[in-house]
Amino acid sequence: MVLLLLVFAVTQGGATPDSVVVHEEWLEADVPKVQSKQVEHVKSGDTAGLILKRLGFSASEAARMIDAAKAVYPLQRIYVGHTFTREVIKGKAVVYYYIDANQKLELTALTSTSWKAALKQRSIFSRVSIVKASIQDSLFWDAAKAGLADNVILKMVDMFAWDIDFSRDLRKGDSFQVMFEESFDDKGQKVGYKILAATFTNRGHVYSGIRYETERGVEYYDVAGRNLRKTYLKSPVKYSRISSRFRSSRKHPVLGYTRAHRGVDYAAKTGTPIRAIGDGKIVYKGWKGGYGRFIEVRHNNGIHSTAYAHMSRYAKGMKRNKHVKQGQIIGYVGMSGLATGPHLHFEFRSRGRAVNPLKVKHKPAKPVPQGEINAFNLQAKAMMLIMAQFDPLRHWG
């Protein structure tokens, strides 16, 4: 049973910008309020008695505790690296020994001289936080100042990488809000995290992403249920045939010697439009040796780039640093450079390495399934509402 106990906290102090609001929501109503906590790890040669002494108990008290524990767990059986804690909860001392991932021994002080021992299931606590910040210096710097861990920042960048070029497009004043859930074990150790929803405002345009799980797995969708991941066009041209495939080595038809063919040749009539297979930015446009008229597009995810060679001409307006959209015509098939006939030589690179374009697995980026769209809408609405309510101007001004 999950109950909501809301704890609102506005971060304060010079280390965090004023715009940051952290909202913490404990998804477990009975999270005890720990007033103080000491931690001791079992070392080689340790006994429970020695550890309890380090935790501040007298020898006779430690003996009574070990005695009380006997019925449920013998404290002669402790292991190096495992943990004892002494906590004060509601004025009472509680000692835990963490037996394994599932169980812990709990010793509660009944009176000043008697202890009660019990075996407890260990549980996972989840905490949902919302962090909101605007970018003044750099995304990483401002996000870290706002209290976001590196892996949460990276995950958020991944979410929006298909729409925003994080290395080039960010501007001072861009802002983001991210709602994420961290899970902790009962020692307070973080065991996982996930982003539930996020919005990113880039140059005045608001992008949203909502985590949603379907039978296909977990994906992030925009508020309309469209997948945030994009997919590439299957091919950049309408071609008559593939005249040469990707090969690590082959006899070059013009040069005569054997060398690798790091792309695919699509035979097509001169003048056939060539389309960018995905959104991105032109990083090279110009004559490039045997490639002739050549364009390289770096795609928004920052990992992939595609190259288009032997063009007869470029489409109007193509130049370095120009953003192109998926399907946009960037040039026309030709045989410039070293080519025996009109074709498009097409390369696909992943982290700079040429891979076979015909073997690139384009994981389909499907929207939320029709049958689940109502459930998704409810969830998306709820998440966006929670985030909107943490507008610092409205609530914390």
For binding to Zn ion (CB under 5 A), which residues are involved? 265, 345
Nearer Cβ to Zn ion (265/296): 265
Nearer Cβ to Zn ion (116/259): 259
Shortest Å, Cβ 10 to Zn ion: 59
Q: What tokens were used for 38?
A: 């000491």
Nearer Cβ to Zn ion (142/265): 265
Residues, the chain, total? 397
Shortest Å, Cβ 234 to Zn ion: 18
Are the C-beta atoms of residues 141 and 150 closer than 8 Å to each other? no
Residue of closest CB approach to Zn ion: 345
The residues, ordered by sequence, that sit 6+ positions from 218 with a Cβ below 8 Å of its Cβ are 211, 212
Task: Tell me the H-state helices in the chain.
Answer: 48-54, 59-69, 139-145, 150-160, 373-388, 392-395
Nearer Cβ to Zn ion (265/279): 265
Shortest Å, Cβ 349 to Zn ion: 14
Query: What would the DSSP string read from start to end of 71-123?
Result: TT--TT---TT-EEEEEEETTEEEEEEE-SSSEEEEEEESSSS-EEEEEEE--
Shortest Å, Cβ 248 to Zn ion: 14
Shortest Å, Cβ 309 to Zn ion: 7
Q: Give the whole-angstrom CA distance, residue 198 versus residue 209.
A: 5
The vertex-185 CA angle with 75 and 80, nearest 5°, equals 35
Phi/psi of residue 212, nearest 5 degrees = -150, 140
Shortest Å, Cβ 323 to Zn ion: 26
Tell me the torsion sign for CA atoms 181, 362, 302, 134. negative
Shortest Å, Cβ 164 to Zn ion: 32
Shortest Å, Cβ 144 to Zn ion: 45
Are the C-beta atoms of residues 32 and 89 closer than 8 Å to each other? yes
Shortest Å, Cβ 261 to Zn ion: 6
Q: What tokens were used for 364?
A: 């389909």
Nearer Cβ to Zn ion (135/297): 297
Query: What would the DSSP string read from start to end of 4-26?
Result: -EEEEE---STTS-TT--EEEEE
Nearer Cβ to Zn ion (272/300): 272
Q: Give the whole-angstrom CA distance, residue 108 versus residue 118.
A: 8
Q: Give the whole-angstrom CA distance, residue 381 versus residue 5.
A: 20
Shortest Å, Cβ 339 to Zn ion: 8
Nearer Cβ to Zn ion (251/363): 251
Nearer Cβ to Zn ion (180/266): 266
Nearer Cβ to Zn ion (133/344): 344
Distances (CA, A) of 226 to 277, 312, 366, 369, 372: 19, 37, 7, 10, 13
C-beta atoms surrounding 298 within 10 Å: 19
Nearer Cβ to Zn ion (304/343): 343
Q: Give the whole-angstrom CA distance, residue 178 versus residue 276.
A: 32
